[in-house]
Amino acid sequence: MAEPNLIVNPLSGEQIVILRSASQTGGQVLDWELRLAPGGRVPSSHAHPEQQETFTVLEGTMRFRVGWHRIIARPGQRVVVPPGTVHHFANAGPVTARVAVESRPALRMQDLLETAAALAQDQHAAGRALPRPLDLALFMTEFEHEVAAPYLPRRLVRLVMRAVARAARLAAARQLPSPAWPARGTARVRN
């Protein structure tokens, strides 16, 4: 039986269970549990321009890079990532890690997680090593309040991504697979 509110990313080894959605908290917080397989990692370094993320390790061992700091976190330890801080995380142990994650404010983080998983499923099924550049531009434009590229000027990235996304929409009427677009992906498994 499928678990409700389960989001699966086949490329990163992430399984995400939404515990409390934005609608349940009045937009204040998105509470989710990250299950990360051994060797699993977030696909790339990133920042959340307007959100704080708090990670509390429940099981396993996690490796974080927050800014320039490297952290190994074990059960009971908490890692706080302030808004705008570049970070990366990975499972540093031999067993699946379980991590309670709080994204505050919630914004559209759940949509971002679902869309990222749908894109990863599409990329995995097509056997591509990298995402399509147009998909990446659409993703970065759609979720510019939730995620930003690391180390590059945010205004420049937004300008370039918006131009590429606009061209992609005009040229191919391309849409991302996600609940945020009419052409839905299959990242979310429902009962």
Q: What is residue 161's predicted lDDT score, i.e. its pLDDT?
A: 72
Which tens digits make up the pLDDT trace of 66-85?
Answer: 999 999 999 999 999 999 99
pLDDT of residue 175: 57
pLDDT at 188: 39
pLDDT at 190: 32
Can you read off the two tokens belonging to residue 36?
Answer: 């990360």
- Residues 56, 54: Cα–Cα separation, whole Å: 7
Q: How far is CA 85 from the centre of its chain?
A: 15
Place of tokens 């499928």: 2
Q: What local confidence, expressed as pLDDT, does residue 185 receive?
A: 38
Nearest to residue 7, comparing CAs of 125, 16, 112?
A: 16
Token pair 């321009």 is found at: 49
Indicate the pLDDT class of residue 132, thresholds 50, 70 and 90: confident
pLDDT score recorded for residue 140: 84
Mean pLDDT across the stretch 90-103?
A: 98
Q: Supply the mean pLDDT for the chain.
A: 86
Q: pLDDT tens digits, residue range 19-57?
A: 999 999 999 999 999 999 999 999 889 999 999 999 999
| Spatial separation of the C-alpha atoms in residues 10 and 59, rounded to whole Å | 21
Higher pLDDT, 7 or 126: 7
What the chain holds in terms of domains, given with CATH numbers, is 6-107 (2.60.120.10), 110-189 (no CATH)
Q: Which residue has the higher pLDDT, 110 or 154?
A: 110
Average pLDDT over residues 149-174: 71
**pLDDT of 1 over the 70 cut:** no
State the CB neighbour count (10 A cutoff) for residue 78.
Answer: 12
